[in-house]
Structure 1
Amino acid sequence: MTMRSGIVGIWIIATGVIIALLYLGRSIFAPFAMAVFLFLVMEGFARAIHNQISFIGRTISRAIAILSVLLGFGFFIALLAQGIAQFGGQASDYEQRINELIADVYGILQMERAPTLTEIVFNETGQRFVGTIANATGDLSGDLVIILIYVAFLFIAQSAWGAKLDRLFPDAGHREQVRDVGVAARKGIETYLWTQTVISALITGLTYGTLLVLQVENALFLAALIFVLNYIPTIGSIVAAFVPLLFALVQPEVPSWIPGEGTNEGYIYAVIVFLGVSFWQFVIGNFVQPRIMGETLNLSALVVLLSLAIWGAIWGIPGMFLSAPLTVLLMILFSQSSSTRWIAILLSADGKPGDFVAEPAHNNDIITAETSAL
């Protein structure tokens, strides 16, 4: 009993130290983790190209995958720039509409004179908020450059990984088991990234069509924003449903087919846009996504939500994007040891985590690999 209490105490202390290190070193660890997952996306895409078009060599497949991902990033940044430019060109119209909304809210709450948008932005609280957003944007731009540098060095270093693994594990059996664990971890992460990409693309395509039909301004920009937000589990889909609502509320002109008069038209229009966007989020999120995610990742929905909160608190926005794949990785790693398998069982949806059966091999914690479908 005393020994077990000591082991529990060591686990608690070790967990606290690891979390503290991850939090204090988030400016280093978070960009590197993003780079690793971006590297896996490129490698997975290159592998898929090579498998489908066998006469294309791995080098050409990898070059096509890297170029495609970089073009995707460039396209998204171009959409952001176009959206900002369009909003800037109609700044006065948007400001007038926002001032009307502020006045309506103050009137409903029976408060005194409503402030204008300019007064809100340039007061002390508004300046602090704008400063925080500007700092976050600057940090994100700097991190993007660092992430791309990390990815480049990961591609350069990958050729030496096999030799290093041979020297780290001279025993052929142990080396094969470690390699199998690495393959399982890679498959789990790639599975999440690809399934989430498919789901995000499906939601984005349907949402973009809905925004076009409803005549929402800058629909392509909003669709691109929704595509990125859907990578954040649970919370991202909720935010993605409300973003078009906010933009519809401040849209200077609403379509002529909207019923109502004056400001009521804007509110009715915003509700219609919200219902149209939320419909796809609800249908795909409740019927399509659980089926795909449940069959491939085997993660408990409660665990996904908790991991979002925990990794978000440790690494901020990058932690939110990486929360699900990091949890998949932890579940696979915990399933390899008989002393930690209970954690993997709790993380899983059906109590059968990972691709490996927790049976001791050679009286140590390396687990015998058994093939099974992800």
Structure 2
Amino acid sequence: MGEGGSGTAGRSAIGGMLLVCTVIIVLAALSWGEMVFAPAAFAVFIVMVVWPVQAWLQQRMPRMLAMPITIVATLVCIAFLLLLFAWGISVIGQWLVGNAARFQAIYQAATDWLEGHGVVLAGALSDSFNMGWVVRFVQSLAARLNGLAGFATLVFAFAVLGLLEAEDLASRLTKAGRRFGGVDVVAAGRETARHFGKYMLVRSIASVTTGAAVWLVAWGVGLEHPAAWAAIAFTLNYIPFLGPLVATLLPTVFALLQFESLQVAAVVLVSLTAVQFVIGSYLEPVFTGSTLSISPFAVMFVVFLWSMLWGLTGAFIGVPVLVAAMTVCKQIPAMRWLIVMLSGGKG
């Protein structure tokens, strides 16, 4: 009995080690192949979100007409989000450059005060904070936006090909028996598509609400360019956890720079934090219900994990990947415990 139990424990330990090694190898491969895997994953997500729309259109018009309408609508939405974010960043960047001299004077005054109180490191840092640093910062953001535009083009190409093959793929999977490894792939795909559509609807509602709230707060305190701040908050809010955090901290920092007042910055910080709390704790749960209930720890973990692998793209795609994985695991009895853990006991 003892030897049998020891052997079972040994096999379980070996199986656990193999699983960990497999996960590490897969993550390393995903990171190494980011240029291919990231746009492909993003395209699959887009296809699963917009395919129900194309299917609905195909019931009312020929396929050759429904497909171009779906593709054009998808392109317009992607371009709108990218251009809106680029516009907001460019407006704030121009404001930064235009006020760089004043910021330099403020920083120099703070440096002199710190040195007068024995903080000598501030003097070394003051040489790095100047007009050139601000210009380089704005140029770096512009370069990143250009890279994002190239990524979006590749994603769109993958998505168009995916939409062309989506219906045929479902037919081929059905002919092949549908079930692979105990999972009904077609049913899991359809359920995942429904979850993705609901996820994007919820994120869109939250983003619109956040953008409007940021505009109201910026306009109320007199922060310059409230529309640009609203645009940035609206687009960033599509990235769980990190997006709302940045959309809260950026206006707070700029309020401090513009007004040179801790009180005004505190008002902005508290107001935007309250907005994010209300949206995250009350608005999103009302729309998601139990079908998309995910533990906040799991959300934060996957956002940081995938952002480490694929940067900004990974931060966005991390939660959809988790949703897809949970959908598949629901069909595997041995993995249902994991659903309960990831959903905070509501799976």
* 1:30–1:319 CA contact under 8 A, matched in 2: yes
- 1:84 and 1:309 map into 2 onto residues whose CA distance is 23
Provide the residue aligned with 1:11 in structure 2: 19
- 1:27 lines up with 2:22 in the alignment: no
* 2:30–2:309 CA contact under 8 A, matched in 1: yes
Root-mean-square deviation (Å): 3.4
Provide the residue aligned with 1:226 in structure 2: 233
Provide the residue aligned with 1:144 in structure 2: 152
- 1:176 and 1:326 map into 2 onto residues whose CA distance is 17
- 1:248 and 1:344 map into 2 onto residues whose CA distance is 42
* 2:101–2:131 CA contact under 8 A, matched in 1: no
- 1:95 lines up with 2:100 in the alignment: yes
Q: Secondary structure at the match of 1:340?
A: helix
Q: Quick one: which amino acid aligns to residue 30 of structure 2?
A: L
* 1:308–1:319 CA contact under 8 A, matched in 2: yes
Residue 328 of structure 1: how far off its partner (Å): 1.0
* 1:102–1:116 CA contact under 8 A, matched in 2: no
* 1:207–1:277 CA contact under 8 A, matched in 2: yes
Distance 1:287 1:109, change over 3 A: farther
Distance 1:80 1:298, change over 3 A: closer
Residue 269 of structure 1: how far off its partner (Å): 3.5
Residue 176 of structure 1: how far off its partner (Å): 9.9
2:281 to 279, 286, 300: 286
2:177 to 166, 169, 179: 169
- 1:329 and 1:75 map into 2 onto residues whose CA distance is 26
* 1:169–1:175 CA contact under 8 A, matched in 2: no
Task: Give the structure, 1 or 2, with the largest relative contact order (CA under 8 Å, sep 6 or more).
Answer: 2
Residue 321 of structure 1: how far off its partner (Å): 0.7
Residue 68 of structure 1: how far off its partner (Å): 3.9
* 1:43–1:62 CA contact under 8 A, matched in 2: no
1:205 to 198, 203, 212: 212
Provide the residue aligned with 1:367 in structure 2: none
Distance 1:56 1:202, change over 3 A: farther
- 2:242 and 2:69 map into 1 onto residues whose CA distance is 33
5+ residue gaps, structure 2: 1-7
* 2:71–2:160 CA contact under 8 A, matched in 1: no
Provide the residue aligned with 1:359 in structure 2: none
Residue 149 of structure 1: how far off its partner (Å): 0.8
- 1:316 and 1:89 map into 2 onto residues whose CA distance is 25
* 1:191–1:296 CA contact under 8 A, matched in 2: no
- 1:189 and 1:235 map into 2 onto residues whose CA distance is 19
Q: Give runs of aligned pairs for residues 55-66 of structure 1, distance below 5 A.
A: 63-66=68-71
* 2:255–2:268 CA contact under 8 A, matched in 1: yes
Provide the residue aligned with 1:118 in structure 2: 130
1:183 to 163, 178, 190: 190
Q: Which has the higher helix share?
A: 2
Distance 1:55 1:166, change over 3 A: closer
TM-score, normalised to structure 1, is 0.75
* 1:79–1:220 CA contact under 8 A, matched in 2: no
What percentage of aligned pairs have identical amino acids? 23
Provide the residue aligned with 1:327 in structure 2: 322
Q: Secondary structure at the match of 2:99?
A: helix
Distance 1:176 1:347, change over 3 A: closer
Q: Quick one: which amino acid aligns to residue 209 of structure 1?
A: L
Residue 273 of structure 1: how far off its partner (Å): 3.0
Residue 20 of structure 1: how far off its partner (Å): 1.7
Provide the residue aligned with 2:311 in structure 1: 316
Residue 278 of structure 1: how far off its partner (Å): 2.7
Count of paired positions: 332
5+ residue gaps, structure 1: 255-262, 353-374
Q: Give runs of aligned pairs for residues 215-254 of structure 1, distance below 5 A.
A: 215-251=222-258
Residue 39 of structure 1: how far off its partner (Å): 2.4
* 1:98–1:117 CA contact under 8 A, matched in 2: no
1:71 to 65, 69, 76: 76
Q: Give runs of aligned pairs for residues 363-374 of structure 1, distance below 5 A.
A: none
Residue 235 of structure 1: how far off its partner (Å): 2.6
Query: Deviations along 1:301-340, whole A, 9 cap, x unmatched?
Result: 1111111122122222111111111111111222322343
